Amino acid sequence: MYKGIFVFLLLSVNITLISAQSDTIRLKNPSFEDTPKRGGEAMDGISGWFDCGKINFPMESPPDIHPNGYWNNNLPASDRKTYLGMVVRDNGTYESVSVRIDSMLEAGKCYKFSIHLARAEKYVSRSRMSNEEANYVTPAVLRIWGGSGFCNERELLAESNPVTNSSWQINTFEIRPKSNIRSITFSAFYKTPTLMPYNGNLLVDGASAFIRVPCPGEPPFASAKSKLPPHKRKKNPTPVNTPTSKDSPVAIAATKNFKPKILHELNKGKAKQGQTIEIKNLLFKADSATIDRTSYEVLDDIYGFLMSTDEVIIEIGGHTNGTPPDEYCDRLSTARAKSVAEYLVEKGVDPSKVQFKGYGKKKPIADNKTAYGRTKNQRVEIKILNLNS
């Protein structure tokens, strides 16, 4: 009898775990961590991913792993150390990679997914048609395919806009598969319709998990907190900054009545296209990209500005002082810029309005030989790339 009860409990636990796992479906190596290399330099491909060119275009080289100055591209990674570079070519070939997911995307259910995309301003290689040097910079799109195995393009789950930004941008998608999906394929592709194939590049990093979300008309999911027994729930939880719908009272108030409390340069009529503004009172934990809670007020100034201004695009730029090594500076400055971008997007800002980039120690504004100068150089700025209010 006890043995039967134990088996029943074990099965119940397993069923619960499987159910929980199906709400968060992860990719292997989602930030494309590997040794930087040109696609044709290694036979082992990209860690955790399968090169679909082996099937589709066996005469072409696989995608590249950056950054290492390959093809004149030096953009630091947005997530950890390395990222994927894919191209489309003027001979009609294009690059794609595929991975099996740890659980199934179920037909008819809705999922949210995000990924960081950018375009290198320089990506110099040989044209396949002319055999002359060419700059592969025409904007391409990312296609996300679902299927039953590696490189199986059974169903187009999502497609990005043409990627024109040379800084990283968070792209979010909500997908609803028509069939059960066991593999995901990322493909660089031409902007369609297009008359002729062209040379372009697409940089990919920071893929999220696929998170189960309610479909339109489906009731909201119960939160983890509400599932706790009453005696384990917090009676007066500390308020936190939560994502805000553009139609919520907070967002509407930000649109109608926005007045910055700290960044007065963001007042309507004062902000100008091309302007660079240091984010004052923005603090992080030491050697970390974790934003101190005391910084939320200044970040909410940026949120209010973006919500109150229609056609605006900003770049969040991270900078460090000149003391640490270059690689460390690039990673820390990018991670801090990304944390600010994620805060704004999670709060409800349209991701297309926000780009981010780490400049490391390449753009000092003061002398690194003094403590004052090093403090001045370690900063995060916003640059207004486009403004049409």
147 and 261 belong to one structural domain: no
CA distances to 50, 165, 206, 317, 359 from 285, rounded to whole Å, are 38, 29, 22, 18, 19
264 and 176 belong to one structural domain: no
pLDDT at 40: 75
> Nearest CA to 88 among 45, 40, 129?
129
In a domain, 166, yes or no: yes
In a domain, 27, yes or no: yes
In a domain, 233, yes or no: no
In a domain, 280, yes or no: yes
95 and 142 belong to one structural domain: yes
Task: Give the structural domain span for 194.
Answer: 23-213
* Tens-place pLDDT, residues 14-71: 444 444 446 999 999 999 999 999 987 755 678 999 999 999 999 999 999 999 999 9
For the chain, the maximum distance between any two Cα atoms, rounded to a whole number of angstroms, is: 78
* Tens-place pLDDT, residues 229-274: 554 544 444 344 545 555 666 666 556 689 999 999 999 889 999 9
For residues 125 and 93, give the distance between their C-alpha atoms in angstroms, rounded to a whole number: 15
In a domain, 18, yes or no: no
123 and 191 belong to one structural domain: yes
Position 3 pLDDT exceeds 80: no
55 and 184 belong to one structural domain: yes
pLDDT above 70: percentage of residues in the chain: 85
pLDDT at 383: 98
In a domain, 138, yes or no: yes
In a domain, 9, yes or no: no
CB 222 within 8 A of CB 193: no
CATH code: domain of residue 333: 3.30.1330.60
* Tens-place pLDDT, residues 184-241: 999 999 998 888 999 999 999 999 999 999 999 999 987 555 455 554 544 444 344 5
For residues 359 and 335, give the distance between their C-alpha atoms in angstroms, rounded to a whole number: 11
Query: How many folded domains does the chain comprise?
Result: 2
In a domain, 218, yes or no: no
Rounded average pLDDT over 139-166: 97
How many other C-beta atoms lie within 10 A of the C-beta of residue 289? 18
76 and 185 belong to one structural domain: yes
CA distances to 24, 140, 202, 356 from 119, rounded to whole Å, are 29, 8, 5, 13
| pTM > 0.85 | yes
CATH code: domain of residue 126: 2.60.120.260
pLDDT at 236: 44
3-class secondary-structure state, position 315: strand
319 and 196 belong to one structural domain: no
Per-residue confidence band for 78, with pLDDT thresholds at 50, 70 and 90: very high
